[in-house]
Amino acid sequence: MSALKTSDKILVVGAGAMGGGIAEVAAQAGHIVYLYDMQAPMLEKALKAIRKNQELLVSKGKSLPENARNVVERIHCIDRLESASDASLAIEAIVENLEVKQSVFRKIEEILNANAILATNTSSISITAIASKLARPERFVGMHFFNPAMRMKLVEVIAGIASSEHILSVVYETAKTWGKIPVYARSTPGFIVNRVARPYYAEGLRVLNEGALDIATIDAYMRNACSFPMGPFELMDLIGHDVNFAVTNSVFNAHYGDKRFAPSLIQQELVLGGRLGKKTGQGFYDYKEGALALRTQTLDAKDGHMAVIASQNNPMIGGILDRFSAAGIRVQYEDIPPNQIRIGDSVLALTNGGTATSRSAEGKIQNLVHIDCALDFALAKIALLAKSDQCSQVNFDGVAGTLQKAGYQVSRIDDIAGMLACRTICMLANEAADSALQGVASIEDIDIAMRFGTNYPKGPLRWADDLSLKYVFEVLSNLSKHYGEERYRVSPLIQRKAISGDYFYGAT
């Protein structure tokens, strides 16, 4: 199906940050845009922001002055919806309230031509529910942009129960011509990104709630060892706790209280206290002028070993051995379990989703130290370790010191199941797998959405393949066993693929 032509006019309803951004995207693509808001000051503010952004693009050499001027000139601010009666596509970006959206779209439907396409930028409200009050629900879809709309590439094209395949295709192709990366999704709570991303916040909050690691070190590890653009607490502060907490509650309630999406009492306290993050000057971090930044907790082990023993089969921790060799630490290969390294009298093992203490008891390993997952151990700046209760402090220091000799900054997390990155990555993959299983979106579109909607270093299903689905299954099973909670139930799709030796994308 073909996209809308540049001669087609676009109506954007709502001149807030999202509405103004969407108007700029459409104008940048060559359309005449009608920008409507009930409050005239909002229109003035939006146009000022658009003009400023276009000037910035010119200053950076990403646009020409005449192009920037044309973009601004193509945006017509209107105070009556009737002034946009010739629009071919209407995109709504107003308050997240079902009744308000239904009322606005009923009016738009009456004003616009019967062939016009209606789209909502909602991030959480059912497309089917909004369309239910329309005379032509088949012409209604979700067109969910991400903030800031000019910079973020992803657009979720969302089908309600009545949405026409033809209309969905037109919107999808239009998003492509606007320079976006569209994905198809079905109208379910949170769609793709706001559903699959919940564990990124939830597991960080869970680790904090258990007192296992401090905020700054959690953020530093997820950035520096796993290449997420921001740690979970930095990101929540940026989004705003009122917004993030509301989305979590929306997804939780829409799934009839599924414990996997349960909100955090820690975040609720911040919202109740008005500490909403950057916009109020305080959240998990203090943004007031002169405030001290939180420091990460690191170890300073003095002694390390200059020889280690490892298995030949180390698919996930091979990068550590490369770092050892580069640092002059001799690596000897023997017949020991994979993804384990003997360092003196200690065993360093990649976490398996349980605690090091329980694994030590079950495997009769006296001095066991768990290491958390990383995107690439050869490049990671930080190593995160958990000491089993049976391990002596001297042995733990020997492991930490050896890793420091290899150039790692070493931090310690209390011995909790799944540590930090391991449980987070596996839970992201678990939610992504359930989304694919339930037909929310395809495997490929889920990974595309998470890469371009959240800037994750990998799509969670690709990441699960790289870790191996047997490992992800083991981690989730051990988390479920440890906590005894519905929250950590394993997706049937991961179970089946892990048991059969299958992959999401094929052997890697």
Sign, Cα dihedral of 256, 257, 258, 260:
positive
424 φ, ψ to 5°?
-65, -50
**Residue 70 CA to chain centroid, in angstroms?**
35
Residue pair 90/84 in contact by the 8 Å Cβ criterion: yes
What is 441-497 written as a DSSP string? S-HHHHHHHHHHHH--SS-HHHHHHHH-HHHHHHHHHHHHHHH--GGGPPPHHHHHH
> Judging by DSSP bridges, how do beta strands 140-145 and 117-120 pair with one another?
parallel
Residue pair 92/47 in contact by the 8 Å Cβ criterion: no
Q: How far apart are CA 206 and CA 323, in angstroms?
A: 31
* 24 catalytic residue (yes or no): no
Q: Which amino acid is at 338?
A: P
* 132 catalytic residue (yes or no): no
* 241 catalytic residue (yes or no): no
Q: Which amino acid is at 122?
A: T
Q: Which residue has the tokens 């033809």?
A: 166
Indicate the angle between helix axes 460-467 and 443-454, nearest 10 degrees.
Answer: 110
> In 3D, which of 334, 311, 308 has the Cα closest to residue 405?
308
Distance linking the first and last C-alpha atoms of the chain = 34
Active-site residue, selected from the candidate residues 63, 88, 121, 123: 123
Active-site residue, selected from the candidate residues 156, 203, 234, 431: 156
State how far the alpha carbon of 226 is from the alpha carbons of 79, 203, 454, in Å: 48, 15, 14
What kind and span of H or E run contains 99? helix 98-111
Active-site residue, selected from the candidate residues 31, 144, 241, 370: 144
Q: How far apart are CA 444 and CA 251, in angstroms?
A: 23
What is 211-260 written as a DSSP string? TSS-HHHHHHHHHHTT--SS-HHHHHHHH-HHHHHHHHHHHHHHTTT-GG
* 194 catalytic residue (yes or no): yes
Kindly tell me the burial class for residue 441, based on how many C-beta atoms sit within 10 Å of its own C-beta (0-12, 13-18, 19 or more).
Answer: buried
34 φ, ψ to 5°?
-95, 120
Tokens of 36: 């409507």
Active-site residue, selected from the candidate residues 63, 126, 163, 194: 194
Q: Which residue has the tokens 């146009």?
A: 47
Q: How far apart are CA 307 and CA 106, in angstroms?
A: 73
Catalytic residues: 123, 144, 156, 194
